[in-house]
Amino acid sequence: MEKKENRAKIIFHIDMNQFFCSVACILDPSLRGKAFAIGRENSYKGVISTASYEARKYGIHSAMPLSEAYQKLPTLLVVNPSYKHYMKYHEKFIEIIKCYTNIIEVASIDELYADMTEISKSIHPVVLAKEIQARLLSELSLPCSIGIAPTLFLAKMASDIKKPLGVTVIRKRDIHNILFPLSVSEIFGIGKKTYPKLINNGIKTINDFMKEDNKNLILKLIGENAYNYAYNCLIGNSTNIVMPDRYSESTSISTSITFDIFKTTLDELIYEERRLTREIVTKLKNEGLLAKIVAITLRDNSFQTITRRLTLDDYSDDFDDIFEAVIELLEENYNEEVSYRLVGVGLMGLMEKNNIPKEYNLFTTLDINQKEENINNLIKEFQKKYGENVIFRNKDKK
């Protein structure tokens, strides 16, 4: 009897451990073993981008205001290497991974997904992961954690389990034992303003999240789309396709604005992002394209830049769909402690309308009436919180 071929893909998620701090130590070896943070030097303004493990022992962490960090540790060292140094080591990181596969999807400056299915036919995936870790550490002085799984989502979840220098394998049959005991805060894609709602209502672990008895409560708390997405990912029903061009310039469009007078309030950012979203959606429609991924870029007054992405349920060129995602990303990532010098909006995963298959979504989506109601409720909520002039539909404007 012919042996059945194992069709499961082998996906690596490679996540650099404290990448910014590691690069800072390469540039200035005297920082090794010391409590330091990446932030705005010689200033009490702004926030910390990331902190060394030694600084974390004092309760210092990313997004903490520098003034608060100095209260916890007056001798804290704060450094801010040029962005070009980070890009240099990012490129070296990519070069090493390309020795093993060309099927690489860069998720951010310090993490990527890699399809290692082919090379794993001749070398055990765990042995391969250890070899990659050793090379990154010996050749670049960059530690990393690696998650190995049959899908991108599970690989990402796996890489977060053991840090630093961890290697974690999650097969579908391992999901219950490895993931279910974890806190719901560990679910990749569940935002920092979403998981507290779950925990406060007794949904504390992933096991609680997956119980059928809790489904109706969770739907009320986070909505059908978020629930279906997380649930399907957690049972292994998510993409296993690593797309090297997912975020390339050829498959994305973006726009941004730099301010002469920095913006400090959320309503100011919403106003600016709404204008940029309108501009970019117009371009999308003119080119006959639909988008699957929405991204925002925020750069603060100390030149710290973040880009955050959200995958839509369906390909879309609808302004309301896209702006709803922009608002969600803004609310999740806005920091009232800083002022912003640049904001941007990007659309990725673009396809021509004629090329979209009839069934392109794994998960159930809301019908049009329900979606319309959700958008209206969202607008009313923001008007109540930030004022009626912050966000409105054209038909509502007087």
Q: Tell me the mean pLDDT in the region 323-327.
A: 90
Q: Taking the mean position of all CA atoms in its chain, how far away is CA 124?
A: 29
Whether residue 2 lies inside any domain: the answer is: no
How many residues are given for the chain? 398
- Report how far residue 388's alpha carbon sits from residue 282's, in angstroms, rounded to the nearest whole number: 24
Q: What is the mean pLDDT of residues 28-53?
A: 84
Kindly state whether residues 279 and 344 are assigned to the same domain: yes
pLDDT of 321 > 80? The answer is yes
Query: Do 99 and 193 have their domain in common?
Result: no
Examine the domain organization and report whether 217 and 336 are in the same domain: no
Q: Which helix (H) or strand (E) holds 291?
A: strand 289-300
Backbone angles phi, psi at 44, to 5 degrees: -100, 0
The residue among 173, 197, 226 that closes a domain is: 173
**Is 173's pLDDT higher than 80?**
yes
**Percentage of residues of the chain with pLDDT beyond 90:** 52
Flag whether pLDDT at 225 surpasses 70. yes
User: 112-164 pLDDT, tens per residue?
Assistant: 999 999 999 999 999 999 999 999 999 999 999 999 999 999 999 999 999 88
- Residue 353 in domain: yes
Residues 140 and 219 in one domain: no
Measure CA of the first residue to CA of the last residue in the chain; give whole Å: 75
319-333 and 266-286 helices, crossing angle to 10°: 150
Residues 138 and 258 in one domain: no
* 328 in a structural domain: yes
Residue-level pLDDT at 226: 82
Instruction: Look up the CATH number of the domain holding residue 254.
Output: 3.30.1490.100
Q: In terms of domains, do 317 and 196 share one?
A: no
Model confidence at 25, in pLDDT bands (50, 70, 90)? very high
**Confidence at residue 362, expressed as pLDDT on a 0 to 100 scale:** 34
Domain boundary among 191, 206, 234: 234
Q: In the chain, how many domains are there?
A: 3
| 221 shares its domain with 97 | no
| Residue 354 sits in the same domain as residue 293 | yes
Over the stretch 292-310, which tens digit does the pLDDT of each residue have? 889 999 988 777 788 888 8
Residue 1 lies in a domain: no
Judgement on whether residues 63 and 102 belong to the same structural domain of the protein = yes
Residue 360 confidence (pLDDT):
35
CA–CA distance, 257 with 341 (Å, rounded to integer): 8
Residue 135 identity (one-letter amino acid) = R
- Asked if residue 2 has pLDDT above 50, the reply is no
Residue 205 near residue 181, CB atoms below 8 Å: yes
For 19, the domain range is: 7-173
pLDDT(186) > 50: yes
Question: Residue 328's pLDDT band (boundaries 50, 70, 90)?
Answer: confident
Answering whether pTM is above 0.75, one says no
Say if 332 falls within a structural domain.
yes
User: What pLDDT band is residue 378 in, cutting at 50, 70 and 90?
Assistant: low
Question: How far apart (Å, rounded) are the C-alpha atoms in residues 86 and 79?
Answer: 13
Residue 383 has pLDDT above 80, yes or no: no
The better pLDDT of the pair 182, 42 is held by: 182
Q: What is the mean pLDDT of residues 267-277?
A: 90
CATH of the domain at 188: 1.10.150
Task: Give percent of the chain with pLDDT exceeding 70.
Answer: 84
C-alpha dihedral, 158 to 161 to 165 to 167, nearest 10°: -40
243 in a structural domain: no
* b/e sequence 52-76, b meaning 16+ C-beta within 10 Å: bebbeeeebeeebbbeebeeebeeb
Where residue 387 falls (left for φ over 0; alpha for ψ -120 to 50; beta otherwise) is left
Q: State residue 215's pLDDT score.
A: 96
* Same domain? 199 vs 162: no
> What distance in Å separates the CA atoms of residue 100 and residue 102, rounded to the nearest whole number?
7
124: domain CATH number is 3.30.70.270
**More confident: 212 or 80:** 212
Q: Do 143 and 163 fall into the same domain?
A: yes
Residue after which a domain boundary falls, among 173, 206, 221: 173
Neighbouring C-beta atoms of residue 91, cutoff 10 Å: 10
Is 111 one of the annotated active-site residues of the chain?
A: yes
The reply to whether 154 and 15 lie within a common domain is yes
292 is a domain residue: yes
pLDDT of 202 strictly over 90? yes
Residue in 5, 68, 95, 111 annotated catalytic: 111
In a domain, 308, yes or no: yes
The per-residue pLDDT for range 66-99, each reduced to its tens digit, is 889 999 999 999 998 877 888 899 999 999 999 9
